[in-house]
Amino acid sequence: MNIHFIGHSTFLLESGGHRLLIDPFIEGNPQASVSLQEALEWTLSAVLISHAHGDHWGNALDFARAGVPLIATAEIAGYAGKNGATQPVGMNIGGTYRAGWGSVTLTPAWHSSSFPDGTYGGMPTGLIIELGGKRVYFAGDTNLFSDMSLIGQRGLDAALLPIGDHYTMGPEEAARTLDLLKPRVAIPMHYGTFPPLTGDPAVFQREGEARGVDVRILKPGEHTTL
């Protein structure tokens, strides 16, 4: 699997001819390594949304209106369907959606969720994604919580974790999640995009590698392979 970091919390996962786009915040994202027009030219198997905040929901409707399946909570999928999405897939926490490319399971996330227009976005979630024989946990904007140990019991090839602080975990607390998740690889996200997000990825890397985890810091536009 190739993991492409688009910027902020936006990732493109690619394996076996399938591409999954996570939290497509492109327009208005000062870190975005691609333009929206470039991204709309990708052939995508699905767009996955962790929660409804504007820096995660982003350009979801642009992809969903173009026919890409949009997978999220029932509230987010319902909102998307009312606004032109052609293939919204509504789920809830604990459920798994299976497709030819693999699967995605929604997990709890301790945060909040509302659309930019104030509409309630349902519970925020994390995502356990299975693609190309790899298992990746995308944590969304959560903080540390003890049930991460149950997520870790699945066996994780990688964990994508917010470290920016203020609105999410900071780097030290994010590193503590590694004791529960036990991923092979950890990739920091959601830092440096806006002034309050001051979390230092070098601190996360130091703390993570002290725990025996391969921490890979990606700049927007870079990718890594599992």
Contact criterion met (CB below 8 Å) for 20 and 173: no
- Tens digits of per-residue pLDDT, 3-49? 999 999 999 999 999 999 999 999 999 999 999 999 999 999 999 99
Residues 120, 95: Cα–Cα separation, whole Å: 20
Local structure of residue 3 (DSSP, 8 states): E
Contact criterion met (CB below 8 Å) for 111 and 143: yes
CA distances from 11 to 22, 58, 158 (A): 5, 13, 13
Specify burial of residue 30 (Cβ count, 10 A radius: 0-12, 13-18, 19+).
Answer: exposed
The CATH architecture of the domain made up of 2-225 is 4-Layer Sandwich (3.60)
Contact criterion met (CB below 8 Å) for 5 and 219: yes
Q: Which of 163, 157, 166, 150 is nearest to 205 (CA)?
A: 163
Identify the band that residue 181 occupies on the pLDDT scale cut at 50, 70 and 90.
Answer: very high
- Which 3 state secondary structure label does DSSP give 123? coil
Task: Indicate the pTM of the whole model.
Answer: 0.98
Local structure of residue 169 (DSSP, 8 states): -
Domain boundaries, the chain: 2-225
Q: Which of 127, 177, 172, 110 is nearest to 148 (CA)?
A: 177
- Tens digits of per-residue pLDDT, 198-207? 999 999 999 9
DSSP lists the bridge partners of residue 98 as 103
Amino acid at 26: I
- Tens digits of per-residue pLDDT, 132-162? 999 999 999 999 999 999 999 999 999 999 9
